[in-house]
């Protein structure tokens, strides 16, 4: 699950990142039954503005930060984002067109392509939900995966091709989890036009967090309590064998979905090879934590400080989404991180040769 960063910190940093204001004028056309168009700035859904519609027309004027992203929403499925570059913009939701600066015209054209892929994805997903045949569902899952992969590749390609303007920051501000550590390092190039945009605060913070659990480092100590309330240290469990330090929580849906895969790896390699797992929980209550351990049938050592997202692993290992993990060698060195699904089994097979 994704953690929401400190709102106060983001607001403070945003003030210094985009100091200059630029006047904007955006006019638009929507279906006549629409009464209000909603406005979001820089993907910040905490503060939503709106403008009234009269006879299918609306107009928004004022000043916002230079190069801020201003999103106009007719509804969740119909929205356009423009860059506040000082050039008046006209948005026609009926014709699905945007007329403004050359940058905004190109930006809108790409948004249309992304929207088409999302609509295709929704159509296929609806078919999936309405299908009971297992074989057919498996086939549809492959279609969904292909669409998702295609859309992700298109966005990544757009980012690479637009190093000289700010629009990549709009996608990176929400899609940074789709990038590997090495990909993100390359993309977060100070020489790009988008690097200093306020929307890049979260991708930068994510890269900093990822760096804390990259291969080549010695494991970082954690001191918490086990389910019986006894003080424990991570170092008690990680010497002399390969160890997966697994960050999870009983309330985390993706963690619960992934756990049978982790259990399978433990059962395959623990007795025969000495493979160990240590669970580090982001739970808030002891009862929920213990019930999760029992329900998910995790026989390995567990530890937690029961501090939810304030868990010590958040700062020490940069874990701000779960499930997450680090794999340690017998000397306690990190050799891999964030292994999921088949990736975990492939890595263990590589280590143990079976």
Which residues, other chains included, contact 160 with Cβ-Cβ below 8 Å and sequence gap of 6+?
none
State the Cα–Cα distance between residues 209 and 324, nearest whole angstrom.
12
Q: 36-41 and 69-75 as β-strands: parallel, antiparallel, unpaired?
A: antiparallel
Domain boundaries along the sequence of the chain: 18-100, 223-352
Could you give phi then psi for residue 304, rounded to 5 degrees? -160, 150
For residues 246 and 280, the answer to whether their CB atoms sit within 8 Å is yes
Torsion 236-237-241-245 (CA) sign: negative
Whole-angstrom distance between the N-terminal and C-terminal Cα of the chain? 32
Which residues, other chains included, contact 248 with Cβ-Cβ below 8 Å and sequence gap of 6+?
255, 259, 279, 280, 281, 282, 322, 323
What are 191's two structure tokens? 């020489």
Model pLDDT, residue 350: 97
Residues of the chain with pLDDT below 50 are 1-18
What are 97's two structure tokens? 């067109």
Model pLDDT, residue 47: 81
Question: What is the second-level CATH architecture of the domain 18-100?
Answer: Sandwich (2.60)
* Backbone Cα Rg of the chain: 24
**DSSP secondary structure of 48-109:** EEEEE-BTTEEEEEEEEETT-EEEEEEETTEEEEEE-SSS-EEEETTTTEEESSHHHHHHHH
230 closest CA partner among 166, 287, 147, 301: 301
What are 64's two structure tokens? 């916002």
| Percent of the chain that is helix, strand, coil (3-state, to 5) | 45, 25, 35
**Cβ atoms < 10 Å from Cβ of 283:** 24
CATH number of 223-352: 3.40.30.10
Model pLDDT, residue 12: 37
Could you give phi then psi for residue 58, rounded to 5 degrees? -145, 160
Model pLDDT, residue 354: 87
How would you class 204 by CB atoms within 10 Å of its CB: exposed for 0-12, middle for 13-18, buried for 19 or more? middle
Q: How many residues does the chain have?
A: 354
User: H or E element: which one contains 77?
Assistant: none
For residue 267, how far is the Cα from the chain centroid? 31
State the Cα–Cα distance between residues 69 and 82, nearest whole angstrom.
6
pTM of the shown model: 0.80
Angle, in degrees to the nearest 10, between helices 7-17 and 201-211: 120
Model pLDDT, residue 18: 44
For residue 324, how far is the Cα from the chain centroid? 13
Model pLDDT, residue 150: 93
């Amino acid at each position: 699950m994704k953690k929401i960063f400190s709102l106060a910190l983001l607001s403070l940093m945003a003030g210094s990142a985009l100091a200059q204001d630029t006047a904007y004028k955006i006019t638009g056309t929507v279906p006549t039954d629409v009464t209000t168009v909603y406005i979001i700035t820089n993907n910040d859904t905490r503060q939503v503005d709106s403008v009234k519609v009269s006879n299918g027309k609306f107009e928004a004027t004022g000043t916002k930060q230079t190069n801020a992203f201003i999103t106009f929403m007719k509804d969740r499925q119909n929205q356009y984002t423009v860059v506040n570059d000082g050039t008046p913009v006209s948005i026609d939701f009926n014709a699905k067109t945007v007329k403004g600066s050359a940058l905004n015209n190109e930006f809108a054209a790409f948004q249309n392509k992304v929207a088409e892929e999302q609509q295709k994805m929704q159509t296929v997903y609806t078919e999936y939900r309405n299908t009971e045949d297992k074989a057919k569902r498996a086939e549809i899952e492959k279609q969904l995966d292909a669409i998702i992969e295609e859309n992700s590749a298109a966005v990544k390609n757009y980012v690479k091709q637009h190093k000289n303007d700010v629009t990549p920051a709009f996608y990176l501000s929400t899609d940074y989890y789709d990038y590997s550590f090495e990909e993100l390092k390359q993309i977060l190039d100070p020489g790009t036009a988008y690097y200093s945009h306020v929307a890049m605060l979260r991708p930068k913070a994510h890269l900093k967090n990822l760096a804390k659990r990259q291969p080549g480092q010695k494991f970082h100590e954690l001191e918490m309590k086990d389910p019986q309330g006894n003080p424990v240290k991570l170092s008690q469990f990680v010497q002399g064998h390969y160890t997966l330090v697994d960050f999870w929580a009983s309330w985390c849906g993706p963690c619960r979905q992934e756990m049978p895969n982790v259990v399978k790896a433990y059962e395959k390699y623990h007795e025969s090879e000495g493979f160990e797992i240590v669970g580090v929980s982001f739970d808030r209550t002891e009862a929920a934590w213990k019930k999760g351990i029992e329900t998910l049938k995790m026989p390995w050592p567990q530890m937690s400080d029961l501090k939810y997202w304030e868990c010590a692993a958040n700062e020490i290992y940069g874990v701000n989404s779960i499930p997450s993990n680090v794999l340690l060698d017998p000397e306690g060195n990190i050799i891999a991180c964030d292994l999921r699904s088949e990736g975990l089994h492939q890595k263990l097979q590589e280590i143990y040769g079976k």
